[in-house]
Structure 1
């Protein structure tokens, strides 16, 4: 008999001696294997994709899970090579700062004289500052630059020492001689596909929401559906100029898309759309978001969602942001949804019809900025709660620049709405003279407390109006019909 792992011939030994030597051989083999494991970069770290894994989606985020929480270093590089072409396809350099305010707590004003290079990713055609690595618990997620990997390729990942530093033990990274290797799927969804699946564990067509949105056709002849499986998708999401799209979560509470972002982390550009939301889009039409949660994890001016499009439906959605938690442009229908924010919770430029929905707000619930000729925020059979007991329904403060900079046609109408934690004045503050508030429509009909009891209107702000029957029957009929608020559009919520 020959024990091949040690290369020794034991055929002349008796059984007792054989058993001892075989046991010794097993021990030596195990020791040798353990030594090899300790010497292999990353061998004590759980990897996703696994080293050598096949059929990986090109949009996959790279995850390393340690036995203790790792810290992100301030230097070192992560390099990604195409194995076949021996070509560098992406680099993350940890010596580059993440943002002018990497913790989201600095100035919210743009400094156009700042020439510092920051970590930048192009998402949906727009440049965002971003975190190349985010650590949650013991897992470090590496965010490569979007759309650098493609189908049908093998990639080698090199991580220099110091990029990640676990609290216990050490991590020497991956070297050119021993890289982290995986191969992507041969191809993406079939031509003409109308539904794709996003799954963080790699079991779907895409690993990320943004990856699926980037794939979605701009103007499909048939509706495209992106189905998101339960999971936590920590990513910045942005896209432009797409139509006829449904994005649907598996479970409203268990499908979570979010990111830490605000106007300090991503201050304004000289031109172009806002970069501070966690999830945003512009130039869209006929879009429906259903059945998932969107979070913005930073304080300040930090939208969970910014909507800029026509005929947008938000159905059974949960939105958690900070200031300006939902910013609206265009025409929007919100049904059976919940929004939480920390003041000016709805920054409203658009026409929005709210049905059976709930807003919880620290501070003013809305800053409605309706222009002449369109409707604003209309709430029907909904609930509005001030979380500190001193919120107002809407405000129109002096906007620092005179009357023309304010919003004399601002509109917010409540019909059969339950409220709690709202001041007795209900509305305000509203800028005084010379501001002309005669066209402001801050109206209410049958506003109650959370138990359904009528609210005392005797102290309501004098520019607000209480609608009554039969006097305002015609107005109420107009405002209860979504088509009248949304420019003739009659929204139909598409079910799963």
Structure 2
């Protein structure tokens, strides 16, 4: 009798499991990921599906698309999937791929706490980070495939899905239930900010006015791009709505984001189609068909493709020729493609609430605070600058609380008299990682790489670390100063090649008590600049300065009471070389470390610079200071000559307070 009962129970269990499995198979993969009751993800069935997801994941971390992960696998199929894990050729973010699998794994991990699911999620995250372009966009496939697959892809929510995952990680969303370490969090925050920058840059301007976005944008030019034959460059209502929905989730959005949302909403209102309803039916031949009929009560529709010039909806067959009416294309394309969509209605419904909840501008516009935790007037530095008065009569002080601010900061020409002051030099960090090849704007790409770019006269920067974190990958500016009467005080300015760029033939700048690090030519440009009481740290055997002083300028770079240090193993460093032949550089009363070469200076294979330029020293000391073997064309200042290198003569002031009123 006991054996019989066990046998009956076994049959019942098999029947119940089969019934539940059948119910699950009735769902689409996306519905199982997004729509199941939260408690279901703790079940054995959910874990079995998660194990399938693990099998389908490739070693690179991504997944292929259009795979029903929830369907049972035979032992042979499992072996085949295991054997093909190194095949990453078709890994993609298209059609919800990678996004859906990561969300599913996070939900199962949240309930089971099994590390195998978390590890797979993190492997997927590594894939997302690796696949992102340096400009912030994502291609449809990674590794890259030739053709339209390499375009920045908004179609079907591809890039928005990636941004949503990053945003959930960055904000510690409880929906994920997965926390990452601080190093990974730094990467995801940077990736999100880069993605946000890409979204802002790709928003299409129609005759000078911001509108919406396209399904694909060129990965280099950001311009609208073609995909399949019937997917011509065009504006898209659905793609725009998905992007705006993402942007409206950002807490304390920047002015750029606000402008982007406002413009897109105006465009969506402008392009909605009213009084038209879609009807689906079966023809007498048994074919699926659709038509559009007048209906005054129908929800507004938006066309999938709109003309870039005038927003006119158009339709396309596989011949790639624009058609004015959906009835002008063949039944296969007409019925098999979503030419209209109602989803933007939800965005327009959410917009008034978003607008109402916007944080007002600070009452004191001359003294504002930046903090990343939402406790201050602004969450990022650029927003504070963007909201500053143009050409103010009084100085504007932007106090920056401790934190790592991963953003490019630009003090514009119309923003003079700004002070950026950090709470703590070591813990208030502005960092970004643009470099020559990543910017990819031609021979002058270097000048676009700055983490902080100052073009407003009378700017003061104090108690901050400014870093270009790209690493030893070529030219990568941390701080670029192209303005007059600027004071940089008690700052760490960190980089490799071309760390500090100082420009403007008539511009004068003063660096006080700063640490500047770099490898090659890491202080360069043509501005008149005084460095006093600074540490200049070389990170490789190379050149410290590369001046390009103007021909008629009496002064160029002047270092007074500075300390020249070097990383361990650095033993052969030149004080400078001439970027341009009239270069002028002087070191006075400086402690020169033993890493300084006995020749001191290099002519950069420009013999004329030896007579047209001016390289000099005065009363330097330290192991790198002996003058016996200095190049013969360098100068040793007399006491009388040294007296002409006063603050008054170099900068035209007696103290920085004259600039900082």
Q: TM tier, shorter chain?
A: 0.5 to 0.7
Bigger fraction of residues in helix:
2
> Higher RCO, 1 or 2 (CA under 8 Å, sep at least 6)?
1
Could you tell me which residue of structure 1 aligns to residue 651 of structure 2?
486
With normalisation by structure 2, the TM-score equals: 0.48
Could you tell me which residue of structure 2 aligns to residue 149 of structure 1?
258
Q: Does 1:205 align with 2:309?
A: no
Measure the CA separation in 1 of the matches of 2:252 and 2:213: 9
CA apart distance, 1:193:
2.3
1:313 maps to which of 466, 487, 498: 487
1:427 maps to which of 576, 601, 622: 601
Measure the CA separation in 2 of the matches of 1:494 and 1:117: 43
Listed one character per residue, the Cα deviations across residues 235-273 of structure 1 (whole Å, up to 9, x for unaligned) are: 111232121111100000000111110122223479999
Listed one character per residue, the Cα deviations across residues 32-70 of structure 1 (whole Å, up to 9, x for unaligned) are: 77459999x989799xxxxxxxxxxxxxxx832152669
Partner secondary structure for residue 379 of structure 1: strand
2:575 maps to which of 376, 379, 393: 393
Could you tell me which residue of structure 1 aligns to residue 168 of structure 2?
64
1:356 maps to which of 526, 533, 551: 533
With normalisation by structure 1, the TM-score equals: 0.63
Q: Does 1:368 align with 2:547?
A: yes
Partner secondary structure for residue 384 of structure 2: helix
CA apart distance, 1:429:
3.5
Over 3 Å counting, the alpha-carbon distance change for 1:419 and 1:436 in structure 2 is closer
Q: Is the 8 A contact 2:435 2:446 kept in 1?
A: no
Could you tell me which residue of structure 2 aligns to residue 377 of structure 1?
557
Measure the CA separation in 2 of the matches of 1:249 and 1:149: 26
Q: Does 1:281 align with 2:454?
A: yes
**Unaligned ranges ≥5, structure 1:** 1-30, 47-61, 80-88, 101-114, 120-132, 134-140, 157-173, 398-405
Partner secondary structure for residue 492 of structure 1: helix
Partner secondary structure for residue 413 of structure 1: strand
Q: Is the 8 A contact 1:151 1:187 kept in 2?
A: no
Could you tell me which residue of structure 2 aligns to residue 459 of structure 1?
629
Measure the CA separation in 2 of the matches of 1:493 and 1:143: 36
CA apart distance, 1:441:
1.8
Q: Give the paired residue count.
A: 365
RMSD over equivalenced CA pairs, Å: 4.4
Could you tell me which residue of structure 1 aligns to residue 615 of structure 2?
442
Could you tell me which residue of structure 1 aligns to residue 395 of structure 2?
223
377-386 vs 62-71, which moves further: 62-71
CA apart distance, 1:483:
2.1
Q: Is the 8 A contact 1:230 1:250 kept in 2?
A: yes
Measure the CA separation in 2 of the matches of 1:384 and 1:271: 29
Over 3 Å counting, the alpha-carbon distance change for 1:235 and 1:78 in structure 2 is closer
Partner secondary structure for residue 333 of structure 1: strand
Over 3 Å counting, the alpha-carbon distance change for 1:184 and 1:390 in structure 2 is farther
Measure the CA separation in 2 of the matches of 1:396 and 1:271: 18
Measure the CA separation in 2 of the matches of 1:233 and 1:95: 30
Output aligned runs, 1:292-307, within 5 Å.
292-298=464-470, 299-307=473-481
Measure the CA separation in 2 of the matches of 1:462 and 1:143: 60
Bigger fraction of residues in strand:
1
Measure the CA separation in 2 of the matches of 1:145 and 1:244: 22
Measure the CA separation in 2 of the matches of 1:308 and 1:321: 18
CA apart distance, 1:348:
2.3
Over 3 Å counting, the alpha-carbon distance change for 1:490 and 1:415 in structure 2 is same
**Unaligned ranges ≥5, structure 2:** 1-35, 47-99, 111-165, 170-175, 201-209, 226-242, 244-249, 266-342
Measure the CA separation in 1 of the matches of 2:516 and 2:590: 15
Measure the CA separation in 2 of the matches of 1:252 and 1:336: 12
Listed one character per residue, the Cα deviations across residues 160-194 of structure 1 (whole Å, up to 9, x for unaligned) are: xxxxxxxxxxxxxx99989999664341112x521
Could you tell me which residue of structure 2 aligns to residue 413 of structure 1?
586
Partner secondary structure for residue 258 of structure 2: coil
Measure the CA separation in 2 of the matches of 1:90 and 1:285: 34
Partner secondary structure for residue 476 of structure 1: helix
Measure the CA separation in 2 of the matches of 1:37 and 1:227: 47
Over 3 Å counting, the alpha-carbon distance change for 1:385 and 1:186 in structure 2 is closer
Over 3 Å counting, the alpha-carbon distance change for 1:296 and 1:37 in structure 2 is farther
